Amino acid sequence: MLDINLLRNDPDKVRENIRKKFQDQKLPMVDEVIAFDREYREAQQQADALRNRRKVISKQIGGLLGKGLKDEAEKAKAEVNAIAEELTALEEKEETLKEEIRKRMLVIPNIIDDSVPIGKDDSENVEIERFGEPAVPDFEIPYHVDIMERLSGIDLDAARKTSGNGFYYLMGDIARLHSAILSYGRDFMIDRGFTYCVPPFMIHGDVVTGVMSFAEMENMMYKIEGEDLYLIGTSEHSMIGKFIDTILDEETLPRTLTSYSPCFRKEVGAHGIEERGVYRIHQFEKQEMIVVCKPEESPLWFDRLWQNTVDFFRSLDIPVRTLECCSGDLADLKVKSLDVEAWSPRQKKYFEVGSCSNLGDAQARRLQIRVKDRDGKKYFAHTLNNTCVAPPRMLIAFLENNLRADGTVAIPEALRMYMGGKDHIG
């Protein structure tokens, strides 16, 4: 959510940003907010004037009664009552205008960074750098579900019976590999100085609207019927929500946390052959990282976060590349975002395995996450998040890149201690 002062003082900047994101349908909202805000401030001024007038008259009533001027005192009381009625109407008007402003401010997109490439959708995202040499072996690589089934590692049919499409049972060494990857991701991030956390897996609606846009919420979140609770789509939601309505001492920043959680997503609009497996699913697990920091430090942390993911995948010998998200592919709260994509030897292309985002002060402004400096001045923090690893999608890249011609799967050195010392499965 933007600072209202930006719309008051530089509405053209907001309009230009909306055009860069190809959301021209939102342009009228800028003028609507400005008009509502002007009316809101006028109502505030009128209400303040009436409160001052009521205060003055209320003081006079005692003096009039003390002098025996009962009629004048009654007239003053009648005026106080009239002021009270007028104030009630003004306060109701203020609340209505405030809500109209907020509804639009929650939809107007955040100002994107100047470095973000301009483009309509993810087809115009820009490759930045490749890490590791993508290779295609001289033997055929089966579909990832077929690899898992040959290793007795997945049961999709049983999951369809118990839960429907988009769910799975992982079994045996594949299930163990799944857990090993998460355990390794946890320790990898702890070794990089992040504090480990297991957060709540459900959050209140005010946290949901604080961390994401309404469109994202509708397409992603499962709501618990009859309760103000939502299943998290990523632990970033509850991790950032941890700081709701807090004032952090500047000396305690940055806060760097890494979290494990299951994730639940509707995946509205999902389609294509990859949904047959575990690429796009309703339930998965994830090792996440979040940072709460001073505004001037967020660009530095952005680069550190995505580099963590690159280093994690390279430690497992999986080639990856980084992709800069263009303006039209950025969610409304994001200032800048970069995807990490892993190499798929079967498809002979890269696919997304992680996403790093700088949200500026958008989440902090919505959730009232403030920082107090040494002089007592308060300002909004910046928040960032990034995926370390999210199996079972990551399993696709792992299995394809570590599959041997004989059908066994090599276990890299970094994972062996989590796999009981095994150097392969098969």
State pLDDT tens for residues 188-243: 999 999 999 999 999 999 999 999 887 777 788 999 999 999 999 999 999 999 99
Statement: 122-425 belongs to CATH 3.40.630.40: no
Helix (H, G, I), strand (E, B) or coil at 68: coil
The C-alpha angle with vertex 181 and arms to 180 and 186, in degrees rounded to 5, equals: 95
Question: Model-level pTM?
Answer: 0.90
- Confidence bin at 80 (pLDDT 50/70/90): confident
Q: Which CATH class is domain 4-105?
A: mainly alpha
Contact between 358 and 302 (Cβ < 8 Å): yes
Q: Where are the alpha helices (DSSP H) in 242-385?
A: 298-314, 362-367
Query: Exposure of 205 by Cβ count < 10 A (0-12 exposed, 13-18 middle, 19+ buried)?
Result: middle
DSSP 217-249: HHHHPEEPTTSS-EE-SSHHHHHHHTTTTEEEE
State pLDDT tens for residues 250-280: 999 999 999 999 999 987 655 443 456 888 8
- Residue for token pair 């049919």: 157
State pLDDT tens for residues 284-315: 999 999 999 999 999 999 999 999 999 999 99
For the chain, give every domain's residue range: 4-105, 122-425
As a whole number, the mean pLDDT across the chain is 93
pLDDT score, position 274: 47
Helix (H, G, I), strand (E, B) or coil at 115: coil
pLDDT score, position 144: 95
Contact between 345 and 135 (Cβ < 8 Å): yes
- Exposure of 199 in the CB half-sphere (CA atoms within 13 A): 30
